[in-house]
A = this chain, B = another copy of it.
Amino acid sequence: MRQISGGVCAAKGFTAAGIHAGVKAGSSPEKNDLALILSETECSAAAMYTTNRVKCAPIYVTMAHLEDGAAWGVVANSGNANACTHLSHEKADEMCAAAAAATGRAPRDFVVASTGVIGQELNIDAITTAMPALASKLSRDGSTDAANAIMTTDTKRKEIAVEVELGDKIVTLGGIAKGSGMIHPNMGTLLCFLTSDCAITPEMLSTMLHEVLPRTINRVTIDGDTSTNDTCAILCNGLAGNDLIEWKDNNYTAFKAALTEVLTYLARAIAADGEGASRLLTCTVHGSRSEDAAERLSKAVTGSSLVKAAMFGADANWGRVLCAMGYSKAPFRPERVDVKFCSCAGEILVCKGGVEVVFDEDKAKEILSQEEVVIDIDLNEGENYATCWGCDLTYDYVKINGDYRT
């Protein structure tokens, strides 16, 4: 497996584009806010959505469109969530209809997604007006424009592609994502679109997505707020010519490794670019009796406001790590817990057997001042482990969210 460029256009047969449609009144003309991805042939498609009881209309529309496990493309906007308004459903339908008209496809060939403010009416006219120009921009170089178009408070574009050999064929898988705020485990918690030229049945694709997402994207938490709009969709058009993946054979395993690689990359990128984040926080819990317990412990630590604020201050306040583990409801023995802080500047043991050890505060400060910090927790009870990703809690998070809507 190797990383390549091209994002969602890296795989054979996919084009993409992004454009400024003016979805949000007064938004900068420099900022793309409408994205289109299209395959030249029909794709096996699968998706996972937010577990929030309040779901945006585009999710319901996409669910209906993917009932047959097939799709041709994705249309998505930023600047408005198209959620909790009188006409949300109609507008999601109109978005698909506009994309279909501009590309010669049918409305139900599209995955549709929105991200932005909840509860404000979507400016569908801006979208339908811009759609023909957007469709005419579709190209093999369009992934970056599309990735830019789905960003909201993201400061960095999230885009990746990998190649993997399945038998004697090269299969390519690429993806783009947006994250930043309202990010918390439980499905997608963001927008993420993946494209591949792999030949795979919709059933196997859905199975694979359900295996990989919970261990990658769902292990990111930024602020504990699971959005109403999270969608992760994958489209595979089969143009790589590999033997069709119909069961869990070696090709399934190899392609699953590629999917894990791509989604892990995007999960880390989303965590590192959390709203206001100054550093990526990785928490690995190992030595657990179960992976589930390790995951819950790791999520509690990465999700703790107090741990996150301490990480912002590069403060080796490991007591907050134990406190967060304690209220996670996961089983573990506090008296066996070892905690280390690690980064490119080294590692330092701060807690052994659940109690304090003498450590060099200056060294700890240096370790915690790096761009990526790992909280390494050993439960000393078993063989299972899990890693979750998050970021620190900073003044900028408060600033961004204190007045995001207006």
Contacts and interface: CB of A to CB of B under 8 A. Distances in A.
Interface in A366-406: 393-395, 397-406
A3 B354 CA distance: 44
A320 to B, nearest CB: 7
Contacts of A81: 319
A121 interface: yes
A320 B118 contact: yes
Given A51-B327, A313-B403, A118 B319 contact: yes
A141 interface: no
A224 B224 contact: yes
**Copies of this protein in the complex:** 2
10 contacts: A52-B327, A81-B319, A86-B356, A118-B317, A119-B322, A225-B327, A228-B322, A306-B401, A310-B401, A313-B404
A181 interface: yes
B84 A351 contact: yes
A183 B393 CA distance: 17
Contacts of A322: 54, 84, 118-119, 228
A33 interface: no
B306 A181 contact: yes
A354 B84 contact: yes
Interface in A278-316: 303-306, 309-310, 312-313, 315-316
A97 interface: no
A393 B403 contact: no
B326 A404 contact: no
Contacts of A120: 319, 356
Contacts of A400: 309
A94 to B, nearest CB: 17
Nearest to A303: B224
B323 A118 contact: yes
A119 B318 contact: yes
A356 B226 contact: no
A378 to B, nearest CB: 16
Given A84-B356, A224-B224, A397-B398, A405 B327 contact: no
Interface in A112-134: 117-121
A319 B51 contact: no
A85 interface: yes
A308 B55 CA distance: 21
A361 interface: yes
Nearest to A326: B54
A83 interface: yes
B225 A304 contact: yes
Contacts of A405: 310, 315-317, 319
A91 B406 CA distance: 53
Contacts of A323: 52, 54, 118, 182, 225-228
A40 B215 CA distance: 59
4 nearest interchain CB pairs? A118-B319, A313-B402, A54-B326, A309-B401
Contact of A398 (B85, B309, B326): B309
Interface string A190-231: 000000000000000000000000000000000111111000
A305 to B, nearest CB: 4
Contacts of A317: 117-118, 404-405
Contacts of A85: 355-356
Contacts of A319: 81, 83-84, 117-120, 228, 405
A95 to B, nearest CB: 18
